[in-house]
Structure 1
Amino acid sequence: MNKLLSSLLVAASFGSSAFAVTLPKADTTWEHISDSDKVTVYKKEIPGSAVVAFRGETTIDAPIAKVANVLIDTSRKKEWVFRIVEAKDVRTISQYERIEYNHTASGFFLVKDRDFVFHAKAELDRDNKQVVFSMKSVDDAAMPEKGPVRGWLDDSRYILTQVAPNQTHVVVEIHADPRGSVAKWLVNLFQKSWPTKSLNGIRAQCAKPDVAEHAGIKAYFEAPTVAKTQTAPAITKASAVAKKKPVMTKAAPGALK
């Protein structure tokens, strides 16, 4: 349910003056369910799961590197993520990967809080002016289950596409099971509003004057082209300037698996 989830991160800023980009589209298996508060929401049945996947998309009036800072900066997630209690980096795997922990309040009497431990990895595509940040739950000995019910995040992602110097198209696709004894039909009922809350939370955070563009990501895209795709420095802190070591990778697909 939307109260049992949190969100995260990644993006980039592009120095090119040409913005003829192709925005990621929901495939025909996504069913449109609403358009409200500047967000379009879809749902998808996942084989073998009673929990429905949801997709939300919107355009935010902010440079993509500023949207990146909102998503990357774990220390400020309490300012915009709905009912989040704690967010922290458990471990850095590489410059481009980390294990993250999120704990959110249930908001319901007699319903336990939920927490999630997940692997986060970012890839960016300079040609398409796009960054994909993938999220998937993992078991980690450093974060054993204590108190909150451990939820499970399956093949979820943020897709950021720069459409203009000060405009970013944002897509979120999420398939999350809060587990526990909550009926799945009730989980699906509440989760359908999660994309709207998440994307508008990012929008509100981007409007704050003290949220800067992510310097490392901005610098990467303003540099001369070296490779078509490279994993993005998602694990850096918002105030850090990442040191780049270009790695040839294949950009992550836009559709939810």
Structure 2
Amino acid sequence: MYKFFPFLLLIIITTNTSAQNWKLTTDADGMKIYMAEVAGSKIKAIKVELELNATQSQLVAVLMDANTCVEWVYGFKSSKLIRQVSPSESYYYAEVNLPWPAENRDYVAHLTATQNPDTKVVTIDAPAVLGFVPIKKGIVRVERSVGKWVISPLSADKIHVVYTLQLDPGGNIPAWLVNTFATQAPTNSFKKLKEQLKKPAYRDASLPFIKD
């Protein structure tokens, strides 16, 4: 019944909230998961660190492909590209399944990917935006969250990934429940992400704004 929690993995909407004092909660299968208190919020922040056998272009291609998020982000009911500004910038809409009697959540994100020309580190942020999609009856709009992907090259075909997230899912979801199950989300979604990276559409990905 808690299948909606893994959707927290993909909401990467930027605000000014920050987390400190990370505490390791899980260290398994090559993945480290941390949680931290956030000032002014009952919802803890989460950080995931792991290495992936992929190039930066492969991972960014997957993350920027909004129409296929439902294939690997556990709990997604739908995801749809609504505006492509450039290869490194887009807007997408997503709806997330929650178990009855809770209402589904949705959001619109503005994805941007940039690469530091000196370090080659790629950063992906996506602030929430309003106005693209009207608020829908029976669905709670997620408006406040913080997240970031930082993707560093280790070798020709291996990358180090740090993912951080803090959000307020809105509505009547108890904070303790979100915090308890949020650490289960990375295990489910990153497992599918590894398989997604192997698909032909991403296996030989080459992006004009990234130098692997």
**Separation in structure 1 between the aligned mates of residue 102 and residue 157 of structure 2, nearest angstrom:** 41
Task: Please tell me the residue identity of whatever aligns with 2:127.
Answer: K
Change (3 A) 1:167 1:176: same
Query: Which segments of 5 or more consecutive residues in structure 1 lack a partner in the other structure?
Result: 10-26, 223-257
| Percentage of matched positions with identical amino acids | 26
Alignment of structure 1 residues 77-116 onto 2, 5 Å:
77-92=69-84, 96-106=88-98, 108-116=99-107
Q: 2:128 aligns with which of 111, 125, 137?
A: 137
**Separation in structure 1 between the aligned mates of residue 91 and residue 188 of structure 2, nearest angstrom:** 24
Change (3 A) 1:61 1:181: same
Aligned length: 202
Alignment of structure 1 residues 176-255 onto 2, 5 Å:
176-217=167-208, 220-221=210-211
**Separation in structure 1 between the aligned mates of residue 193 and residue 31 of structure 2, nearest angstrom:** 12
**Separation in structure 2 between the aligned mates of residue 184 and residue 119 of structure 1, nearest angstrom:** 26
Is the CA contact (8 Å cut-off) linking 1:63 and 1:213 kept in structure 2?
A: no
Is residue 166 from structure 1 mapped to residue 172 from structure 2 by the alignment?
no
SS at match of 1:91: strand
Over the aligned positions, Cα root-mean-square deviation in angstroms equals 2.4
**Separation in structure 1 between the aligned mates of residue 200 and residue 22 of structure 2, nearest angstrom:** 36
Is the CA contact (8 Å cut-off) linking 1:3 and 1:104 kept in structure 2?
A: no
Q: 1:53 aligns with which of 40, 45, 64?
A: 45
Question: How far did residue 210 of structure 1 move?
Answer: 4.4
**Separation in structure 2 between the aligned mates of residue 93 and residue 208 of structure 1, nearest angstrom:** 25
Is the CA contact (8 Å cut-off) linking 2:96 and 2:104 kept in structure 1?
A: yes
Is the CA contact (8 Å cut-off) linking 2:57 and 2:210 kept in structure 1?
A: no
Task: Please tell me the residue identity of whatever aligns with 1:41.
Answer: I
Task: Please tell me the residue identity of whatever aligns with 2:93.
Answer: Y
Change (3 A) 1:95 1:71: closer
**TM-score after normalising by structure 1:** 0.70
Question: How far did residue 220 of structure 1 move?
Answer: 4.5
**TM-score after normalising by structure 2:** 0.84
**Separation in structure 2 between the aligned mates of residue 84 and residue 4 of structure 1, nearest angstrom:** 6
Q: 1:152 aligns with which of 133, 143, 159?
A: 143
Q: 1:169-188 CA deviation, whole Å, 9 max, x = no partner?
A: 11110112211111111111
Change (3 A) 1:68 1:40: same
Task: Please tell me the residue identity of whatever aligns with 1:141.
Answer: G
Between structures 1 and 2, the one with greater strand share: 2
Q: 1:198-240 CA deviation, whole Å, 9 max, x = no partner?
A: 33222121133443333224x7426xxxxxxxxxxxxxxxxxx
SS at match of 2:164: strand
SS at match of 1:81: coil
